[in-house]
Structure 1
Amino acid sequence: MKIGFLTHYFPPEIGAPSARIYEMAKNWVKSGHQVKAVTCFPNHPTGEIPEEYEGLKFKKEEMDGIEVYRNYVYATPNKGFIKKVFNHLSFMFSSVLFSLRKIGEIDITVVSSPTFFSIFSGYLFSLIKRTPFILEIRDLWPAAIVELGVLKNKFIISVLEAIELFFYRSADKIVVVTRSFKENLISRGIEAEKIEVITNGVDINFFKNKSQNQELLEKYNLEDKFIVEYIGAHGLSQALDKIIYAAEKLKEYEDIHFVFVGEGAEKEKIMDLSEELELNNITFISQKPKEMMPKFYNIADICLVPLKDVELFETFIPSKIFEIMACEKPIVASLSGETKNILDEAQSAVTVEPENIDQIAAAILEIKNNPQKVEEMGKNGREFVVENYSRSSLADKYLNVMNQAIEGK
């Protein structure tokens, strides 16, 4: 099978979107299929394009057997709504302008959203190439930005929602990452039979428990510290200011130290808040390449998974929970909904109310004061993801969906 996959995010960018398609695609290649990934030049979340791509409009390359078609993008940091829209729109146009002809023959078109505007490109690819069209939904957009208060114009919202529903109805198959997303689409009149749930997962051979990396501990002065770690996007959705306030509550415990790894629109604000509160128990670390992630997870004693107290986020599953569990680390998760149900079933986390500072601080102390619980939660998490969320088995499930779409067409 020749698989055409359009995605705004792709390695060397790190994060859930790029990891999902990259690891899936590697498994598809191993199964004997040809994968053609249409993406843009890496720039997320810093807005900086690596030197080897500067000044280019298009470049074809290969990564682990995957054909990668990189296209021009208006590069901008992951903050500022208008600039981000231009970033998304630029890839929508450039992917069609540069890659539509060069990609050659494909048997199926898959497009991943967000970004929303990529769907336009994917739909056009499917029409011109005369292939089945699979729409992958990782976030309910525009609902997410409406809930966060980023978009308030009712007319624009209604237009975007009408376009969203058109694409849902036009797709031969829809792949969503949570059961809640499927229920949402069904409630809006989309046929249940065309919606498949393929969650995020983890490469269980890449993410695993290893001894703490002494070099990292020394580099960041973390020796003899009980490390409470957050890795990921520093954006509106994560409510990281509440973690800063939890760190303030625990500042009397000299051995507890908070570590934040990553970038995002809210990073400067939370760093300013930490400085304003005169906290010495926090270290901020810039975004690191994916190959470093297991090393950072493995210096942690506790990993944090926070989300803002927004009803829509009850339907979200942060993919980092699978990486953390694969590394056998206990989790303090300040969230509700489907992710809480998964973590409770796995018995690998203490879950508390989203944005509840007192409960976050208390959960950290609860785990810290119970070393046996730390070990049990770690083992429970690893066993759970190996059984239920292995990326290779999820990739096989995705292939079945593609075959169904081709046969149905």
Structure 2
Amino acid sequence: MRIIYIHQYFKTPTEGGAVRSFHLAKGLVDAGHEVEMITGGAEDGYDQRWIEGIKVHYLPVGYDQKFGFVKRVVSFLSYIHLAKKLIKKLTRPDLLYVTSTPLTTGLLGLWAKKVLAIPYIFEVRDLWPQAPIEVGAIKNPLLKSGLKRLEKRIYQRAMSLVALSPGIADHLRQVTPSQKIHLIPNFSDLHSFFPMEKKRSLLQKYGLNDELTIAYTGALGQVNAVDELLNLAEMANRKGKNWQFLIMGEGSHENELKASARQKSLTNVHFIPFGAKEKVNEVLSLADFAWISFAHLPVLKTNSPNKFFDGLAAGKAILVNHKGWVYDLVKTHQLGISCLPSKINSAFAKLEKIESDARELEKMGNNSRKLAEQYFHKELAIAHLCKVIEPNKSVENSEEDTFMITG
């Protein structure tokens, strides 16, 4: 089958960041499909590369999380315009696999179905426009209602929908009750991420001691609530703890977080430059807990964050700041502890207890790796996607297997 994969922010493991589309596309290629990826990011005009059997088309469309609202809209619409022109030049595909965000990628699916009679599957990574509405990025009532109508039309006209979490799947059922919905969460790369002992040489490299360490590896944006990790670091400072806090990432709030750490004299907080997956695993190897955080908005409870699945594969105990799907998994499978803002004192006391209980910490980490191996390895996600694309093919684990671990 010929598949055109639409993802505006396609990344490879060597680039770092969210690499779900890379693994799914490569999995489809390995299964015998022909996959062409259309993405943005080319600096000087159009570029094309072969990456692990995937033919990747890079369009000259820039994007940065630091972009303001207007600049983001221009980026989204430029990508749609150039992608349409490219699709018309390519050999006709059997299917478009369209992934959000942004929601505007769905315009390509609508256009391809109407103008070229090409069906599309739409993958919902985050709930747009609900997320930017709740964050406050979209305030105009007419724009809100217009985007919600567009969302419904994109969902309704797709051949089927792919949701990344049970919460997203529930939302899709509310918007389009009759649509076929598949649950394929984000997943763990068990080969790139794996349990490692804290190496003395690495501790020295990063200027760290062998003390309780909490690491955040992900985007540093408005919705990521990494400032709450700074609050925990400040409390540790105040109480004379030698705990260490690692923050590895980049984003619109990076400078603000660094300024806050300086202002509070948080010498126990170490900022590490964003890097490829091997570097992320290296940083996680120095941590006892992986910090998973989002702002406290209802829509963000549905998220399926890559950093959580990286932490599972690395065999890390999980420290989560919000309720939702990840919170339920942590609680049900004894992966770690919660650190809700209203219960930070209770969480701190639990961390103090765990600090001197190596067996409990090891148990949590083992539970994380076990969950990744059983339910969240990338091969399972690829097999499920192949089943979505070719329904008559058999697959070892069904959609219901994934629903069993929602907590």
**TM-score, normalised by the number of residues in structure 2:** 0.90
Q: Is residue 226 of structure 1 aligned with residue 212 of structure 2?
A: yes
Conservation of the 8 A alpha-carbon contact between 2:334 and 2:367: yes
Counterpart of 1:196, as a letter, is: H
Mapping of 1:124-203 within 5 angstroms?
124-192=111-179, 194-203=180-189
**What secondary structure does 1:223 align onto?**
coil
Aligned residues: 390
Q: Return the offset for 1:199.
A: 0.8
Conservation of the 8 A alpha-carbon contact between 2:65 and 2:221: no
Mapping of 1:9-408 within 5 angstroms?
9-12=9-12, 13-16=15-18, 19-41=19-41, 53-55=42-44, 57-97=45-85, 99-192=86-179, 194-251=180-237, 252-353=239-340, 356-404=343-391
Counterpart of 1:263, as a letter, is: E
Distance 1:356 1:262 in 2: 26
Counterpart of 2:16, as a letter, is: I
1:366–1:138: structure 2 CA closer, same or farther, 3 Å change rule? farther
Distance 1:214 1:28 in 2: 40
Counterpart of 1:212, as a letter, is: K
Q: Return the offset for 1:355.
A: 6.8
Q: Return the offset for 1:213.
A: 4.7
Distance 1:103 1:290 in 2: 32
1:129–1:369: structure 2 CA closer, same or farther, 3 Å change rule? farther
1:355–1:69: structure 2 CA closer, same or farther, 3 Å change rule? farther
Q: Return the offset for 1:126.
A: 4.0
Conservation of the 8 A alpha-carbon contact between 2:109 and 2:154: no
1:215–1:70: structure 2 CA closer, same or farther, 3 Å change rule? farther
**What secondary structure does 2:103 align onto?**
coil
Distance 1:356 1:239 in 2: 16
Q: Which moved more, 1:138-147 or 1:68-77?
A: 68-77
Distance 2:274 2:379 in 1: 26
Q: 2:404 maps to what in 1? A: none
Q: Which moved more, 1:319-328 or 1:99-108?
A: 99-108
Conservation of the 8 A alpha-carbon contact between 1:172 and 1:405: no
Q: Return the offset for 1:127.
A: 4.1
Conservation of the 8 A alpha-carbon contact between 2:156 and 2:176: no
Conservation of the 8 A alpha-carbon contact between 2:16 and 2:277: yes
1:189–1:117: structure 2 CA closer, same or farther, 3 Å change rule? closer
Conservation of the 8 A alpha-carbon contact between 2:248 and 2:273: yes
1:204–1:84: structure 2 CA closer, same or farther, 3 Å change rule? same
Counterpart of 2:164, as a letter, is: V
Conservation of the 8 A alpha-carbon contact between 1:6 and 1:122: no
Deviations 1:44-90 (A, max 9, x none): xxxxxxxxx532x2111111111111111034453422222222222
Conservation of the 8 A alpha-carbon contact between 1:7 and 1:113: yes
Q: Return the offset for 1:167.
A: 0.8
Q: 2:397 maps to what in 1? A: none
Q: Percent identity?
A: 26
Q: Return the offset for 1:200.
A: 0.8
Q: Return the offset for 1:239.
A: 1.3
Q: Which moved more, 1:74-83 or 1:219-228?
A: 74-83
Q: Return the offset for 1:159.
A: 0.7
Deviations 1:299-345 (A, max 9, x none): 11211111211122222222322211111111111111211112222
Distance 1:6 1:122 in 2: 9
Q: Return the offset for 1:253.
A: 3.6
1:314–1:35: structure 2 CA closer, same or farther, 3 Å change rule? same
Q: Return the offset for 1:273.
A: 1.1
Q: Which moved more, 1:232-241 or 1:209-218?
A: 209-218
Distance 1:383 1:191 in 2: 35
Q: Which moved more, 1:119-128 or 1:251-260?
A: 119-128
Gaps of 5+ in 1: 42-52
Q: Return the offset for 1:212.
A: 2.9
Counterpart of 1:106, as a letter, is: P
Conservation of the 8 A alpha-carbon contact between 1:29 and 1:65: yes
Gaps of 5+ in 2: 394-407
Conservation of the 8 A alpha-carbon contact between 1:168 and 1:190: no
Counterpart of 2:221, as a letter, is: G
1:170–1:365: structure 2 CA closer, same or farther, 3 Å change rule? same
Q: Which moved more, 1:71-80 or 1:151-160?
A: 71-80
Deviations 1:74-129 (A, max 9, x none): 344534222222222221222222x2134323111111010122221233234444
1:253–1:32: structure 2 CA closer, same or farther, 3 Å change rule? farther
**TM-score, normalised by the number of residues in structure 1:** 0.90
Distance 1:306 1:5 in 2: 29
Q: Return the offset for 1:349.
A: 1.5
Distance 2:279 2:338 in 1: 27
**What secondary structure does 2:390 align onto?**
helix
Q: Which moved more, 1:343-352 or 1:390-399?
A: 343-352
Distance 1:359 1:100 in 2: 55
Q: Return the offset for 1:185.
A: 2.0
1:149–1:247: structure 2 CA closer, same or farther, 3 Å change rule? same
Distance 2:243 2:250 in 1: 23
Q: 1:50 maps to what in 2? A: none
Q: Which moved more, 1:219-228 or 1:379-388?
A: 219-228
Counterpart of 2:43, as a letter, is: E
**What secondary structure does 1:117 align onto?**
helix
Conservation of the 8 A alpha-carbon contact between 1:224 and 1:255: no
**What secondary structure does 1:5 align onto?**
strand
